[in-house]
Amino acid sequence: MRIIPAIDIIEGKCVRLSKGDYSTQKVYNEDPLEVAMLYMDYGFEYLHLVDLDGAKAKSIVNHNVLQCLASKTNLKIDFGGGIKSDEDLRIAFDCGANQITGGSIAIKNPDLFKRWIQRYGEDKIILGADVKGDKIAVGGWLETSEQDIEPFVESYHKEGIKYVICTDISKDGMLKGPAFDLYERLINGNPNINLIASGGVSNESELPKLLEIGCEGVIIGKAIYEKKISLQTLSEFNTLNS
């Protein structure tokens, strides 16, 4: 199971929200490169980078941060937030994204998202499945669709999606544990997907359970910033279980 540190960006700074609420933002570092370099120093290979301004604006905003991190570190970056058009996708890949995550686009413009899957392949396009009460949330989590999580994931798995990042928004940034039951349901229903857990991780004891359930990766953000889990501990777990 891969440990994937997260950096969320507002106005070029590293922030975290609680339950996706923009009014709760807390700035943890004004220099994303400093944070990314620290992750690289501890041996991490992957980074989850989210453009929260872009998610709200419905087009990429912080592409300069992506370009900086991609050009000055060796991290393989999956990038999401505001990718709604072919131009957004081009910008993301041109700026160095290894993968992109599409969430709102998969609900609001499924034909375009399916074309991206066909054109770029399963290793480049990640499905973002963010849920509020089992319904898919979109638009920077500011809107909730009528689409249920399980058929949503299953339908895109049939279209060729391999990687799925799933966040239970009620857990995100709360440091009260991941949505174990939700992840177990999704993996049991779609055993061939690579499910990446996101949201709620609060301590190292939760990681073996995510591994046991069958998660391919786990994204961790606030627990690192708040020093609930040390980077050394995560690095050692990563080495043993990746």
Average pLDDT over residues 83-90: 96
pLDDT of residue 11: 96
Average pLDDT, the chain: 94
Query: Which one of 78, 88, 130, 168 is the catalytic residue?
Result: 130
Can you give the CATH number for the domain in which 138 is found?
Answer: 3.20.20.70
Domain that holds residue 123: 2-241
pLDDT at residue 173 above 70? yes
pLDDT of residue 139: 65
pLDDT tens profile 11-37: 999 999 888 888 999 999 999 999 999
Structural domains in the chain (count): 1
Tokens coding 122: 């399963």
**Res 158: pLDDT:** 95
Is a pLDDT exceeding 70 seen at residue 141? no
The pLDDT tens digits for 35-76 are: 999 999 999 999 999 999 998 898 999 999 999 999 999 999
Query: What pLDDT is recorded for position 142?
Result: 65
Helix ranges, 95-206 (H): 104-108, 110-120, 149-158, 180-189
Task: State yes or no: pLDDT of 119 exceeds 90.
Answer: yes
The DSSP code for 241 is H
Q: H helices then E strands: how many in the chain?
A: 11, 12
Residue 117 pLDDT greater than 90, yes or no? yes
204-229 average pLDDT score: 96
The β-bridge partners of 50 are 8, 80
The pLDDT value recorded for residue 186 is 95
pTM, full prediction? 0.95
Residue 11: C-alpha distances to residues 51, 65, 73, 190 (Å) = 9, 10, 21, 37
Q: Is 130 one of the annotated active-site residues of the chain?
A: yes
Written as six digits, the tokens of 130 are 């963010």
In this prediction, what percent of the chain has a pLDDT beyond 90? 83
Query: pLDDT tens digit string along 95-107?
Result: 999 999 999 899 9
Is residue 140 scored above 80 in pLDDT? no
Report the pLDDT averaged over residues 178-207: 95
